[in-house]
Structure 1
Amino acid sequence: MEIDDKGTDNNERTADHLLQWTQWQLLDSILPTGGFAHSYGLEAAIQARIVSSPQNLKSFIIQVLENTATLLLPFVHCANKSPDIDNYAKLDKLLEATLTNEVGRKASASQGAALLRVAASVFSEAPLLRKIRESFMGSREVSFHHAPVFGLICGLTGFDSGTSQRAYMFITMRDVISAATRLNLVGPLGASVLQHEIAPVAEETVRRWMDRSVEEAFQTAPLLDTVQGCHSYLFSRLFCS
Protein backbone atom coordinates (compact mmCIF):
# COMPACT_ATOMS: atom_id res chain seq x y z
CA MET A 1 0.00 0.00 0.00
CA GLU A 2 1.37 3.40 -1.01
CA ILE A 3 1.06 6.30 1.46
CA ASP A 4 1.63 9.91 0.46
CA ASP A 5 3.33 12.62 2.54
CA LYS A 6 0.06 13.36 4.36
CA GLY A 7 -0.47 9.75 5.37
CA THR A 8 -3.30 9.18 2.88
CA ASP A 9 -3.70 5.83 1.17
CA ASN A 10 -3.28 6.44 -2.57
CA ASN A 11 -5.96 3.85 -3.36
CA GLU A 12 -8.36 5.76 -1.12
CA ARG A 13 -7.54 9.03 -2.87
CA THR A 14 -8.11 7.40 -6.27
CA ALA A 15 -11.51 6.12 -5.13
CA ASP A 16 -12.45 9.60 -3.92
CA HIS A 17 -11.44 11.13 -7.23
CA LEU A 18 -13.40 8.55 -9.21
CA LEU A 19 -16.45 9.30 -7.06
CA GLN A 20 -16.15 12.95 -8.10
CA TRP A 21 -16.29 11.92 -11.76
CA THR A 22 -19.48 9.97 -11.01
CA GLN A 23 -20.94 12.98 -9.22
CA TRP A 24 -20.21 15.27 -12.13
CA GLN A 25 -21.67 12.84 -14.63
CA LEU A 26 -24.87 12.43 -12.63
CA LEU A 27 -25.31 16.22 -12.57
CA ASP A 28 -24.29 16.74 -16.20
CA SER A 29 -27.11 17.99 -18.41
CA ILE A 30 -25.93 15.63 -21.16
CA LEU A 31 -27.20 12.64 -19.16
CA PRO A 32 -30.43 11.73 -21.03
CA THR A 33 -32.87 11.67 -18.12
CA GLY A 34 -35.62 13.82 -19.65
CA GLY A 35 -35.39 16.61 -17.07
CA PHE A 36 -35.34 19.34 -19.70
CA ALA A 37 -38.75 18.22 -20.98
CA HIS A 38 -40.33 19.65 -17.85
CA SER A 39 -40.73 23.21 -16.58
CA TYR A 40 -41.91 22.37 -13.03
CA GLY A 41 -45.08 24.38 -13.62
CA LEU A 42 -43.27 27.46 -14.96
CA GLU A 43 -44.93 27.35 -18.39
CA ALA A 44 -48.39 27.26 -16.83
CA ALA A 45 -47.39 30.00 -14.36
CA ILE A 46 -46.33 32.25 -17.26
CA GLN A 47 -49.59 31.73 -19.10
CA ALA A 48 -51.51 32.39 -15.88
CA ARG A 49 -49.44 35.61 -15.50
CA ILE A 50 -48.11 34.54 -12.13
CA VAL A 51 -44.63 34.86 -13.62
CA SER A 52 -44.14 37.71 -16.08
CA SER A 53 -40.64 39.09 -15.44
CA PRO A 54 -37.17 38.06 -14.25
CA GLN A 55 -38.13 39.34 -10.79
CA ASN A 56 -41.19 37.11 -10.68
CA LEU A 57 -39.05 34.27 -12.01
CA LYS A 58 -36.58 34.51 -9.15
CA SER A 59 -39.39 34.36 -6.61
CA PHE A 60 -40.94 31.40 -8.45
CA ILE A 61 -37.69 29.42 -8.47
CA ILE A 62 -37.13 30.04 -4.77
CA GLN A 63 -40.64 28.78 -4.03
CA VAL A 64 -40.04 25.70 -6.19
CA LEU A 65 -36.83 25.00 -4.27
CA GLU A 66 -38.55 25.48 -0.92
CA ASN A 67 -41.31 23.09 -1.96
CA THR A 68 -38.76 20.60 -3.27
CA ALA A 69 -36.84 20.74 0.00
CA THR A 70 -39.86 20.14 2.24
CA LEU A 71 -41.63 17.58 0.05
CA LEU A 72 -38.95 15.65 -1.84
CA LEU A 73 -35.66 15.89 0.04
CA PRO A 74 -36.93 13.47 2.73
CA PHE A 75 -37.38 10.84 0.00
CA VAL A 76 -33.90 11.50 -1.40
CA HIS A 77 -32.41 11.30 2.09
CA CYS A 78 -34.19 8.09 3.13
CA ALA A 79 -33.43 6.32 -0.16
CA ASN A 80 -29.78 7.36 0.13
CA LYS A 81 -29.42 6.10 3.71
CA SER A 82 -30.91 2.66 2.96
CA PRO A 83 -30.37 1.87 -0.75
CA ASP A 84 -32.11 -1.49 -0.97
CA ILE A 85 -35.09 -2.87 -2.89
CA ASP A 86 -37.58 -3.03 -0.03
CA ASN A 87 -36.92 0.48 1.23
CA TYR A 88 -36.98 1.88 -2.30
CA ALA A 89 -40.35 0.25 -3.08
CA LYS A 90 -41.81 1.55 0.19
CA LEU A 91 -40.64 5.11 -0.53
CA ASP A 92 -41.91 5.03 -4.10
CA LYS A 93 -45.38 3.91 -3.05
CA LEU A 94 -45.53 6.56 -0.34
CA LEU A 95 -44.55 9.33 -2.75
CA GLU A 96 -47.11 8.09 -5.28
CA ALA A 97 -49.77 8.59 -2.61
CA THR A 98 -48.31 11.94 -1.51
CA LEU A 99 -48.11 13.79 -4.84
CA THR A 100 -51.39 15.62 -5.25
CA ASN A 101 -51.64 16.63 -8.91
CA GLU A 102 -51.65 14.29 -11.87
CA VAL A 103 -49.26 16.35 -14.01
CA GLY A 104 -46.58 16.48 -11.32
CA ARG A 105 -47.05 12.81 -10.47
CA LYS A 106 -46.64 11.72 -14.10
CA ALA A 107 -43.64 14.01 -14.57
CA SER A 108 -41.95 12.55 -11.49
CA ALA A 109 -42.55 8.98 -12.69
CA SER A 110 -41.36 9.77 -16.21
CA GLN A 111 -38.13 11.40 -15.05
CA GLY A 112 -37.46 8.71 -12.49
CA ALA A 113 -37.95 5.88 -14.97
CA ALA A 114 -35.61 7.59 -17.45
CA LEU A 115 -32.99 8.22 -14.77
CA LEU A 116 -33.07 4.61 -13.57
CA ARG A 117 -32.80 3.31 -17.14
CA VAL A 118 -29.71 5.44 -17.78
CA ALA A 119 -28.12 4.75 -14.39
CA ALA A 120 -28.61 0.99 -14.70
CA SER A 121 -26.69 1.10 -17.99
CA VAL A 122 -23.99 3.59 -16.99
CA PHE A 123 -23.14 2.80 -13.37
CA SER A 124 -22.19 -0.86 -13.67
CA GLU A 125 -20.52 -0.71 -10.25
CA ALA A 126 -24.05 -0.71 -8.77
CA PRO A 127 -25.70 -3.88 -10.19
CA LEU A 128 -28.67 -3.45 -7.84
CA LEU A 129 -29.91 -0.64 -10.12
CA ARG A 130 -30.32 -3.05 -13.01
CA LYS A 131 -31.90 -5.63 -10.70
CA ILE A 132 -34.46 -3.12 -9.42
CA ARG A 133 -35.33 -1.97 -12.92
CA GLU A 134 -35.73 -5.52 -14.19
CA SER A 135 -37.74 -6.56 -11.12
CA PHE A 136 -40.31 -3.79 -11.36
CA MET A 137 -40.36 -2.93 -15.06
CA GLY A 138 -43.78 -3.66 -16.52
CA SER A 139 -45.36 -4.20 -13.12
CA ARG A 140 -47.53 -1.77 -11.22
CA GLU A 141 -45.79 -2.26 -7.91
CA VAL A 142 -43.75 0.94 -8.21
CA SER A 143 -44.02 4.10 -10.30
CA PHE A 144 -40.28 4.96 -10.44
CA HIS A 145 -40.68 8.41 -8.91
CA HIS A 146 -37.69 10.66 -9.42
CA ALA A 147 -36.72 11.62 -5.83
CA PRO A 148 -36.36 8.09 -4.40
CA VAL A 149 -34.67 6.90 -7.62
CA PHE A 150 -32.15 9.75 -7.34
CA GLY A 151 -31.49 9.01 -3.67
CA LEU A 152 -31.13 5.30 -4.41
CA ILE A 153 -28.57 5.93 -7.17
CA CYS A 154 -26.61 8.30 -4.97
CA GLY A 155 -26.58 5.81 -2.11
CA LEU A 156 -25.41 2.93 -4.30
CA THR A 157 -22.67 4.96 -6.00
CA GLY A 158 -21.18 6.27 -2.76
CA PHE A 159 -22.63 9.75 -2.31
CA ASP A 160 -23.22 10.88 1.25
CA SER A 161 -26.71 12.10 2.15
CA GLY A 162 -25.80 15.79 2.31
CA THR A 163 -24.26 15.75 -1.16
CA SER A 164 -27.24 13.83 -2.54
CA GLN A 165 -29.74 16.37 -1.20
CA ARG A 166 -27.74 19.36 -2.45
CA ALA A 167 -27.38 17.68 -5.84
CA TYR A 168 -31.14 17.16 -6.05
CA MET A 169 -31.77 20.83 -5.29
CA PHE A 170 -29.16 21.81 -7.88
CA ILE A 171 -30.71 19.83 -10.72
CA THR A 172 -34.14 21.21 -9.81
CA MET A 173 -32.84 24.77 -9.97
CA ARG A 174 -30.91 24.04 -13.17
CA ASP A 175 -33.92 22.58 -14.96
CA VAL A 176 -36.30 25.41 -14.00
CA ILE A 177 -33.80 28.04 -15.13
CA SER A 178 -33.23 26.13 -18.37
CA ALA A 179 -36.98 26.11 -18.97
CA ALA A 180 -37.13 29.87 -18.33
CA THR A 181 -34.42 30.40 -20.95
CA ARG A 182 -36.27 28.37 -23.57
CA LEU A 183 -39.48 30.24 -22.76
CA ASN A 184 -37.61 33.51 -23.48
CA LEU A 185 -38.21 34.81 -19.99
CA VAL A 186 -34.48 35.32 -19.44
CA GLY A 187 -31.40 35.15 -21.66
CA PRO A 188 -28.50 32.70 -21.24
CA LEU A 189 -26.29 35.26 -19.49
CA GLY A 190 -29.12 36.43 -17.27
CA ALA A 191 -29.89 32.80 -16.44
CA SER A 192 -26.32 32.25 -15.27
CA VAL A 193 -26.43 35.37 -13.11
CA LEU A 194 -29.78 34.28 -11.68
CA GLN A 195 -28.48 30.82 -10.83
CA HIS A 196 -25.50 32.32 -9.00
CA GLU A 197 -27.78 34.68 -7.06
CA ILE A 198 -30.14 31.92 -5.98
CA ALA A 199 -27.39 29.49 -4.91
CA PRO A 200 -27.00 30.95 -1.39
CA VAL A 201 -30.78 30.79 -0.91
CA ALA A 202 -30.77 27.18 -2.08
CA GLU A 203 -27.99 26.31 0.36
CA GLU A 204 -29.84 27.93 3.26
CA THR A 205 -32.99 26.05 2.26
CA VAL A 206 -31.14 22.72 2.17
CA ARG A 207 -29.63 23.35 5.59
CA ARG A 208 -33.05 24.11 7.00
CA TRP A 209 -34.82 21.03 5.66
CA MET A 210 -32.19 18.34 5.09
CA ASP A 211 -32.02 14.93 6.78
CA ARG A 212 -35.73 14.69 7.58
CA SER A 213 -37.83 11.54 7.54
CA VAL A 214 -40.59 10.99 4.98
CA GLU A 215 -43.13 11.32 7.77
CA GLU A 216 -42.15 15.00 7.91
CA ALA A 217 -42.61 15.65 4.18
CA PHE A 218 -45.09 18.38 3.28
CA GLN A 219 -45.87 21.06 0.69
CA THR A 220 -45.12 24.72 1.29
CA ALA A 221 -46.46 26.14 -1.99
CA PRO A 222 -49.93 24.74 -2.79
CA LEU A 223 -50.46 27.45 -5.42
CA LEU A 224 -47.53 26.10 -7.43
CA ASP A 225 -48.99 22.62 -7.17
CA THR A 226 -52.34 23.91 -8.44
CA VAL A 227 -50.76 25.80 -11.33
CA GLN A 228 -48.71 22.80 -12.40
CA GLY A 229 -51.86 20.71 -12.33
CA CYS A 230 -53.37 23.04 -14.94
CA HIS A 231 -50.51 22.45 -17.37
CA SER A 232 -52.33 19.77 -19.35
CA TYR A 233 -55.18 22.22 -20.04
CA LEU A 234 -52.98 24.80 -21.78
CA PHE A 235 -53.98 25.45 -25.40
CA SER A 236 -50.35 25.25 -26.53
CA ARG A 237 -47.35 24.09 -24.57
CA LEU A 238 -43.66 23.44 -25.04
CA PHE A 239 -43.05 21.26 -22.00
CA CYS A 240 -44.59 18.09 -20.59
CA SER A 241 -45.16 19.66 -17.19
Structure 2
Amino acid sequence: MSKFARLLHLIDSSIPTGAFAYSYGLESSITFGLVKNQFQLRNYLYAYLQQVTSMEFPFMNSCYRLAQPDLNAALGAMAEAYDAMMLVPALHRASLVQAKNWLRLLASFYPEAGMGTVADWFTAQGIPLHFVLAFALCLKRAGFALPEVQEMYLHMALRDQLSAAIRLGFVGPMEGHRLQHDFYAIFENLMAGHAEKEYADAFRSAYMLDVSQVLHEEVYSKLFQN
Protein backbone atom coordinates (compact mmCIF):
# COMPACT_ATOMS: atom_id res chain seq x y z
CA MET A 1 0.00 0.00 0.00
CA SER A 2 1.30 3.49 -0.84
CA LYS A 3 2.26 6.00 1.84
CA PHE A 4 -0.53 8.31 0.64
CA ALA A 5 -3.13 5.57 1.19
CA ARG A 6 -1.77 4.92 4.68
CA LEU A 7 -2.00 8.63 5.41
CA LEU A 8 -5.64 8.66 4.28
CA HIS A 9 -6.29 5.77 6.65
CA LEU A 10 -4.77 7.61 9.61
CA ILE A 11 -6.93 10.70 9.05
CA ASP A 12 -10.11 8.67 8.61
CA SER A 13 -12.79 9.78 11.04
CA SER A 14 -13.39 6.15 12.07
CA ILE A 15 -9.92 5.87 13.66
CA PRO A 16 -10.81 5.31 17.36
CA THR A 17 -8.58 7.82 19.15
CA GLY A 18 -11.51 9.29 21.09
CA ALA A 19 -11.41 12.76 19.51
CA PHE A 20 -15.12 12.69 18.68
CA ALA A 21 -15.99 12.61 22.37
CA TYR A 22 -14.82 16.22 22.74
CA SER A 23 -16.04 19.54 21.31
CA TYR A 24 -13.03 21.58 22.58
CA GLY A 25 -15.23 24.46 23.68
CA LEU A 26 -17.68 24.53 20.77
CA GLU A 27 -20.60 23.06 22.72
CA SER A 28 -20.27 25.56 25.57
CA SER A 29 -19.68 28.42 23.09
CA ILE A 30 -23.00 27.62 21.42
CA THR A 31 -24.83 26.96 24.71
CA PHE A 32 -23.80 30.28 26.28
CA GLY A 33 -24.27 32.38 23.15
CA LEU A 34 -20.65 32.99 22.17
CA VAL A 35 -21.40 31.44 18.76
CA LYS A 36 -24.91 32.33 17.53
CA ASN A 37 -24.79 32.07 13.74
CA GLN A 38 -22.71 30.75 10.86
CA PHE A 39 -20.70 33.96 10.55
CA GLN A 40 -19.63 33.63 14.17
CA LEU A 41 -18.94 29.94 13.62
CA ARG A 42 -16.52 30.84 10.81
CA ASN A 43 -14.75 33.30 13.11
CA TYR A 44 -14.66 30.69 15.87
CA LEU A 45 -13.15 28.07 13.54
CA TYR A 46 -10.53 30.51 12.28
CA ALA A 47 -9.52 31.44 15.84
CA TYR A 48 -9.45 27.76 16.79
CA LEU A 49 -7.19 26.82 13.87
CA GLN A 50 -4.94 29.81 14.57
CA GLN A 51 -4.46 28.51 18.09
CA VAL A 52 -3.75 25.01 16.76
CA THR A 53 -0.92 26.35 14.61
CA SER A 54 0.50 28.70 17.23
CA MET A 55 0.32 26.21 20.10
CA GLU A 56 0.60 22.72 18.62
CA PHE A 57 2.80 23.17 15.55
CA PRO A 58 5.91 24.36 17.42
CA PHE A 59 5.80 21.25 19.62
CA MET A 60 5.39 18.97 16.61
CA ASN A 61 8.29 20.73 14.89
CA SER A 62 10.52 20.22 17.92
CA CYS A 63 9.58 16.53 18.10
CA TYR A 64 10.77 16.09 14.53
CA ARG A 65 14.03 17.93 15.13
CA LEU A 66 15.12 16.13 18.29
CA ALA A 67 18.80 15.26 18.06
CA GLN A 68 19.83 11.86 19.36
CA PRO A 69 22.71 12.98 21.65
CA ASP A 70 20.47 15.16 23.83
CA LEU A 71 17.14 13.47 23.09
CA ASN A 72 16.23 12.59 26.67
CA ALA A 73 16.88 16.02 28.15
CA ALA A 74 15.29 17.89 25.25
CA LEU A 75 12.21 15.69 25.10
CA GLY A 76 11.73 15.91 28.86
CA ALA A 77 11.87 19.71 28.83
CA MET A 78 9.51 19.86 25.87
CA ALA A 79 6.99 17.46 27.40
CA GLU A 80 6.97 19.34 30.71
CA ALA A 81 6.47 22.65 28.90
CA TYR A 82 3.50 21.29 26.97
CA ASP A 83 1.93 19.84 30.11
CA ALA A 84 2.26 23.23 31.84
CA MET A 85 0.47 24.96 28.95
CA MET A 86 -2.56 22.65 29.13
CA LEU A 87 -4.50 24.97 31.41
CA VAL A 88 -7.99 23.50 31.13
CA PRO A 89 -8.37 20.30 33.22
CA ALA A 90 -10.86 18.68 30.82
CA LEU A 91 -8.57 19.28 27.84
CA HIS A 92 -5.61 17.96 29.84
CA ARG A 93 -7.48 14.71 30.51
CA ALA A 94 -8.66 14.43 26.91
CA SER A 95 -5.12 14.86 25.59
CA LEU A 96 -3.81 12.02 27.76
CA VAL A 97 -6.62 9.67 26.71
CA GLN A 98 -6.12 10.37 23.02
CA ALA A 99 -2.35 9.93 23.31
CA LYS A 100 -2.82 6.51 24.87
CA ASN A 101 -5.28 5.43 22.17
CA TRP A 102 -3.15 6.84 19.35
CA LEU A 103 -0.03 5.10 20.59
CA ARG A 104 -1.83 1.77 20.89
CA LEU A 105 -3.13 2.07 17.32
CA LEU A 106 0.18 3.10 15.78
CA ALA A 107 1.99 0.31 17.63
CA SER A 108 -0.37 -2.20 16.03
CA PHE A 109 -0.07 -0.61 12.57
CA TYR A 110 3.74 -0.31 12.62
CA PRO A 111 5.08 -3.03 14.96
CA GLU A 112 8.57 -2.74 13.47
CA ALA A 113 8.84 0.95 14.43
CA GLY A 114 9.08 0.30 18.18
CA MET A 115 6.26 2.69 19.14
CA GLY A 116 6.02 1.09 22.56
CA THR A 117 9.35 2.60 23.57
CA VAL A 118 7.73 6.05 23.41
CA ALA A 119 5.22 5.16 26.12
CA ASP A 120 7.91 3.35 28.12
CA TRP A 121 10.13 6.43 28.11
CA PHE A 122 7.38 8.76 29.35
CA THR A 123 6.36 6.26 32.03
CA ALA A 124 9.96 5.89 33.22
CA GLN A 125 10.39 9.67 33.39
CA GLY A 126 7.06 10.19 35.16
CA ILE A 127 6.03 12.78 32.55
CA PRO A 128 2.48 12.86 31.09
CA LEU A 129 2.32 11.89 27.41
CA HIS A 130 0.01 14.27 25.55
CA PHE A 131 -1.62 13.64 22.20
CA VAL A 132 0.32 16.22 20.18
CA LEU A 133 3.66 14.75 21.26
CA ALA A 134 2.51 11.16 20.71
CA PHE A 135 1.09 12.15 17.33
CA ALA A 136 4.35 13.65 16.10
CA LEU A 137 6.75 11.13 17.65
CA CYS A 138 4.82 8.15 16.25
CA LEU A 139 4.39 9.54 12.75
CA LYS A 140 8.06 10.43 12.62
CA ARG A 141 8.89 6.79 13.44
CA ALA A 142 6.40 5.66 10.81
CA GLY A 143 8.31 7.62 8.17
CA PHE A 144 5.96 10.52 7.44
CA ALA A 145 7.45 13.92 6.65
CA LEU A 146 6.82 16.93 8.89
CA PRO A 147 4.81 18.95 6.31
CA GLU A 148 2.49 15.96 5.85
CA VAL A 149 2.04 15.65 9.60
CA GLN A 150 1.30 19.37 10.01
CA GLU A 151 -1.37 19.38 7.32
CA MET A 152 -2.80 16.12 8.62
CA TYR A 153 -3.13 17.55 12.15
CA LEU A 154 -4.79 20.74 10.91
CA HIS A 155 -7.25 18.72 8.84
CA MET A 156 -8.16 16.58 11.86
CA ALA A 157 -8.66 19.67 14.05
CA LEU A 158 -11.03 21.25 11.51
CA ARG A 159 -12.85 17.98 10.82
CA ASP A 160 -13.51 17.31 14.50
CA GLN A 161 -14.88 20.81 15.14
CA LEU A 162 -17.24 20.66 12.18
CA SER A 163 -18.34 17.17 13.16
CA ALA A 164 -19.19 18.56 16.60
CA ALA A 165 -21.15 21.44 15.03
CA ILE A 166 -23.14 18.98 12.91
CA ARG A 167 -23.89 16.66 15.82
CA LEU A 168 -25.01 19.64 17.90
CA GLY A 169 -27.47 20.52 15.13
CA PHE A 170 -25.89 23.95 14.63
CA VAL A 171 -25.21 23.29 10.93
CA GLY A 172 -26.38 20.60 8.57
CA PRO A 173 -24.03 18.01 7.07
CA MET A 174 -23.87 19.68 3.64
CA GLU A 175 -23.16 23.11 5.09
CA GLY A 176 -20.60 21.66 7.48
CA HIS A 177 -18.69 19.96 4.69
CA ARG A 178 -18.87 23.08 2.52
CA LEU A 179 -17.28 25.01 5.39
CA GLN A 180 -14.58 22.38 5.64
CA HIS A 181 -13.92 22.67 1.91
CA ASP A 182 -13.72 26.47 2.15
CA PHE A 183 -11.24 26.39 5.03
CA TYR A 184 -8.77 24.27 3.09
CA ALA A 185 -8.10 27.38 0.98
CA ILE A 186 -6.44 29.10 3.94
CA PHE A 187 -4.46 26.17 5.31
CA GLU A 188 -1.20 27.39 3.78
CA ASN A 189 -1.64 30.85 5.29
CA LEU A 190 -2.43 29.38 8.69
CA MET A 191 0.61 27.11 8.58
CA ALA A 192 3.08 29.61 7.12
CA GLY A 193 3.80 31.59 10.27
CA HIS A 194 4.43 28.56 12.48
CA ALA A 195 5.74 25.83 10.18
CA GLU A 196 9.33 26.35 11.36
CA LYS A 197 8.94 27.48 14.98
CA GLU A 198 10.22 25.52 17.98
CA TYR A 199 8.28 24.72 21.15
CA ALA A 200 9.78 27.67 23.05
CA ASP A 201 7.85 29.93 20.65
CA ALA A 202 4.48 28.23 21.24
CA PHE A 203 1.66 30.38 22.59
CA ARG A 204 -2.10 30.36 23.06
CA SER A 205 -3.65 32.94 20.74
CA ALA A 206 -7.39 32.65 21.47
CA TYR A 207 -8.14 33.22 25.13
CA MET A 208 -11.91 33.26 24.64
CA LEU A 209 -11.57 29.64 23.53
CA ASP A 210 -9.95 28.82 26.87
CA VAL A 211 -12.84 30.55 28.65
CA SER A 212 -15.44 28.62 26.66
CA GLN A 213 -13.62 25.37 27.36
CA VAL A 214 -13.69 26.05 31.10
CA LEU A 215 -17.41 26.93 30.88
CA HIS A 216 -18.17 23.49 29.51
CA GLU A 217 -18.33 22.18 33.08
CA GLU A 218 -21.32 24.52 33.63
CA VAL A 219 -23.41 23.10 30.77
CA TYR A 220 -26.36 21.32 32.39
CA SER A 221 -26.97 18.73 29.67
CA LYS A 222 -23.92 17.86 27.56
CA LEU A 223 -23.38 15.90 24.39
CA PHE A 224 -19.57 16.05 24.68
CA GLN A 225 -17.09 15.43 27.48
CA ASN A 226 -15.55 18.86 26.91
Alignment map for 1:97-116 (pairs within 5 Å) = 97-116=84-103
Corresponding position: 1:150 with 2:135? yes
Corresponding position: 1:184 with 2:169? yes
Shift of 1:94: 1.5
The 8 Å contact of residues 80 and 154 in structure 1, kept in 2 or not, is answered as no
Structure 1 unaligned residues grouped into runs of 5+ = 1-16
Range with greater deviation from structure 2 (168-177 or 73-82):
73-82
Q: Deviations over 1:24-78 (max 9, x none)?
A: 1211112110111111110010111011222211111111000110011111111
Give me the whole-angstrom Cα distance separating, in 2, the residues matched to 1:71 and 1:197.
Answer: 23
Give me the whole-angstrom Cα distance separating, in 2, the residues matched to 1:39 and 1:223.
Answer: 15
Q: CA-atom RMSD, angstroms?
A: 1.9
Q: Quickly say closer, same or farther: Cα 1:117–1:95, change in 2 above 3 A.
A: same
Alignment map for 1:46-195 (pairs within 5 Å) = 46-82=30-66, 86=72, 87-127=74-114, 129-137=115-123, 141-195=126-180
Looking at both structures, which has the greater relative contact order when contacts are Cα pairs under 8 Å and sequence separation is at least 6?
2
Q: Please name the residue that 1:205 is paired with.
A: 190
The 8 Å contact of residues 77 and 164 in structure 1, kept in 2 or not, is answered as no
How many residue pairs are counted as aligned between the two chains?
223
Structure-2-length-normalised TM-score: 0.91
Paired-residue identity, %: 27
Q: Provide the secondary structure at the position in 2 that maps to 1:230.
A: helix
Q: Provide the secondary structure at the position in 2 that maps to 1:30.
A: coil
Structure whose CA Rg is larger:
1
Give me the whole-angstrom Cα distance separating, in 2, the residues matched to 1:210 and 1:110.
Answer: 26
Give me the whole-angstrom Cα distance separating, in 2, the residues matched to 1:136 and 1:150.
Answer: 14
Shift of 1:88: 4.2
Q: Provide the secondary structure at the position in 2 that maps to 1:231.
A: helix
Q: Please name the residue that 1:42 is paired with.
A: 26
